[in-house]
Amino acid sequence: MLLTCYSLSQIDHFGFLQDGTFKQRYLVADDHWQHPDGPILFYTGNEGDITWFCNNTGFMWEVAEQLGAMLVFAEHRYYGESLPFGQDSYSDVKHLNYLTSEQALADFAVLIQNIKTIVPGAQNSPVIAIGGSYGGMLSAWFRMKYPNIVVGALAASAPIWQFPDMVPCGDFYKIVTQDFAKSGKNCDANIRRSWKAINNVSSSASGLQWLSEEFSLCSPLKNKNDAVSFKSWLQETWVNLAMVDYPYEANFLQPLPRWPIQVVCKYLGFDSTVSDEQLLHGVAQAAKVYYNYTGNAPCLNTSQTATSSLGALGWFFQACTEMVMPMCTDGVQDMFEPEEWSLQALSDECNSVFGVRPRADWAGTVYGGKKIGSHSNIIFSNGGLDPWSAGGVTANISQSLVSIMIPDGAHHLDLRYSNKLDPPSVRAARALELKYFQKWIRQCTYRSLRRKFWH
């Protein structure tokens, strides 16, 4: 049974002027927990409603039985129901000031200590942090900063190096492009061509109207600016498809068929003689695979590209402060319009929207950047199809900082429920992850016993 619980946490762990607390939501399942002392698998919640992450992390449910583990899914502050100032949490930068990864990690640490205090038999339970994407970054950082609280971490598809001067800014979109290139003939080439076609067609009012109808847009395009936003929306659509290119029908960001990019690419097989209108008709059909696989969407909404369970505004604030992740395109090694990375442009946008400016170097300073070799017990798993693997740890750093690659996997496929269509690589990854969990738990049990009998 899954219980919904709440724990009090300081709004500001790093200052004493703001002494208020807020209710942090967490979900608990203890059906398989062997108490006392059975392990706790702790999901370090990311930028969204924790129930949604809980439902999309079947792996934890499957290994709980094998490990006799309690499951805890902790909601990240400022997302879902865990709002430090209720409805006012997003009202201005004064209220948003406590939305940082450091505060979130401190919440997790305090929550685990609370659980160990209030749950009989949990006091000596080894805790393993698990997370995917930003949640995976948090689980890795949690082990780095609080090794007293968690014995190890699984950081699935966690781009901890997608920060300034750590990886080339173009790798992310290169991987997106490769996914399309290998999913159908001419598929990447036709997307690369589509931007020019949109520019051509959208130069006239009738063209804008035609585009809006072809794409069944809820809000028709009215001018050049709308066309620019429309291209951004399409670009984000292809990125999202690359993230969720799963080998079976699934509903993560959107309900989708198996290997959705292959389905999309069926509409994008034209040779180079195709007209702008023919090409864009194909692109529209392709986009509808992503936005209307169920056939129930009355129109396509360009203001949203993914599930509303994700907190887009909160993540935007985080990207405007600590989570500065440079990305760029050149139109040659990727299928997008060339665009350089500009910290200044981001900074100005952040200043106008929130009144804050990003600190580009801070994440590298506080979380170690490439110099993380002295830490231990972290698994970095990455999917070869996942564009976020560009910023991930894809080679072993040491015997206990290990990389697991899943060549056929998209974004944290390993965290999902197992499926009969799973490729062998993800089955192997999950089996190896379980082995590491068991090893960390054994290490911890051994240390406890030694403390008990030798001292």
Minimum distance, C-beta of residue 379 to a copy of itself, in the bound complex (Å): 16
Mark 254-283 with x for binding to a copy of itself (rule: CB under 8 A) and - for no binding. ------------------------------
Choose which of 128, 156, 197, 372 interacts with a copy of itself (CB under 8 A).
372
Residues 88-127 that bind a copy of itself (CB under 8 A): 93-94, 96-98, 100, 102-103, 106, 109-110, 113
Cβ(154)–Cβ(379) below 8 Å: yes
Minimum distance, C-beta of residue 439 to a copy of itself, in the bound complex (Å): 14
Return the number of the residue (78 or 180) whose C-beta is nearest a copy of itself. Answer: 78
Question: Residues in contact with a copy of itself, total (CB under 8 A)?
Answer: 43
Return the number of the residue (50 or 109) whose C-beta is nearest a copy of itself. Answer: 109
Return the number of the residue (338 or 373) whose C-beta is nearest a copy of itself. Answer: 373
Residues 300-329 that bind a copy of itself (CB under 8 A): 321
Return the number of the residue (275 or 374) whose C-beta is nearest a copy of itself. Answer: 374
Minimum distance, C-beta of residue 37 to a copy of itself, in the bound complex (Å): 16
Minimum distance, C-beta of residue 403 to a copy of itself, in the bound complex (Å): 16
Residues 345-364 that bind a copy of itself (CB under 8 A): 356-357, 359, 361-362
450: Cα separation from own chain's centroid: 39
Choose which of 278, 374, 398, 418 interacts with a copy of itself (CB under 8 A).
374
Distance from the first to the final alpha carbon of the chain? 39
Q: Compute the distance between CA of residue 407 and CA of residue 384 in angstroms, rounded to an integer.
A: 4
Closest to 326 measured CA to CA, from 355, 353, 363: 363
Choose which of 228, 297, 312, 366 interacts with a copy of itself (CB under 8 A).
366
Q: Sheet holding 378-383: strands in order across?
A: 2-10, 21-29, 70-74, 40-44, 127-132, 152-156, 378-383, 401-406
Minimum distance, C-beta of residue 308 to a copy of itself, in the bound complex (Å): 26
For the annotated catalytic residues, the residue numbers are: 133, 386, 411
Mark 133-162 with x for binding to a copy of itself (rule: CB under 8 A) and - for no binding. ------------xxxxx-------------
Minimum distance, C-beta of residue 54 to a copy of itself, in the bound complex (Å): 25
∠ Cα 315 316 318 (to 5°): 60
Return the number of the residue (97 or 292) whose C-beta is nearest a copy of itself. Answer: 97
Mark 422-451 with x for binding to a copy of itself (rule: CB under 8 A) and - for no binding. -------------------------x----
Residues 6-25 that bind a copy of itself (CB under 8 A): 10, 12-17, 19
Return the number of the residue (37 or 337) whose C-beta is nearest a copy of itself. Answer: 37
Choose which of 24, 377, 381, 389 interacts with a copy of itself (CB under 8 A).
377
Cβ(89)–Cβ(109) below 8 Å: no
Residues binding a copy of itself (CB under 8 A): 10, 12-17, 19, 93-94, 96-98, 100, 102-103, 106, 109-110, 113, 145-149, 321, 356-357, 359, 361-362, 365-366, 368-369, 371-377, 447
